[in-house]
């Protein structure tokens, strides 16, 4: 995994290892999910569906993520690529590596992010924009 992202994950895993910082239903994989959302938001993909241009970070996470948030945002902001396709590949690799750290029951949020990013990647491959997403058509993630 990229050294900048490893640093980000180390900071927040250390921070959240203190149970006082853990919110209700906290899972360690939440950290990888929210870092993935921060990367997604930073890259601002043009082929993201209009109502999914940004992914909101949960209030619980933001409330408990501590003073490290600003430093982490600076690290995320320093990760840049020449093209959206390179940024997309980076994000897909990040998700793949993050998912490899956890068991299936721990992957709910990461699976959701993976599904969305994978569907967006298909639009890049086909060179098409999204005008409509049929959310009822999506297969359940197991």
Q: How is the chain split into domains, by residue range?
A: 3-126
**Model confidence pLDDT, tens digit, residues 76-101:** 999 999 999 999 999 999 999 999 99
Closest CA to 30 of 42, 17, 41, 43: 17
pLDDT in tens, 5-54: 999 999 999 999 999 989 888 899 999 999 999 999 999 888 787 767 77
* Terminal-to-terminal C-alpha distance of the chain: 26
Q: Please state the pTM of the whole predicted model.
A: 0.84
Q: Is 123 exposed, middle or buried (CB count within 10 Å of its CB: 0-12, 13-18, 19+)?
A: middle
Scanning 44-100, the segments in alpha helix (DSSP H) are 59-64, 68-77, 84-99
């Amino acid at each position: 995994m990229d050294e900048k992202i490893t640093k980000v994950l180390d900071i927040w895993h250390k921070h959240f290892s203190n149970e006082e910082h853990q919110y209700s239903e906290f899972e360690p994989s939440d950290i990888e999910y929210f870092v993935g959302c921060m990367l997604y938001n930073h890259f601002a993909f043009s082929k993201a569906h209009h109502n999914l241009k940004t992914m909101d970070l949960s209030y619980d996470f933001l409330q408990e993520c501590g003073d490290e948030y600003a430093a982490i945002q600076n690290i995320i902001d320093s990760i840049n690529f020449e093209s959206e396709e390179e940024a997309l590949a980076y994000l897909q690799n990040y998700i793949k590596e993050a998912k490899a750290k956890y068991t299936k029951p721990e992957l709910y949020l990461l699976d959701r992010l993976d599904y969305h990013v994978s569907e967006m990647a298909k639009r890049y491959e086909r060179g098409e924009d999204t005008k409509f997403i049929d959310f009822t058509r999506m297969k359940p993630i197991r």
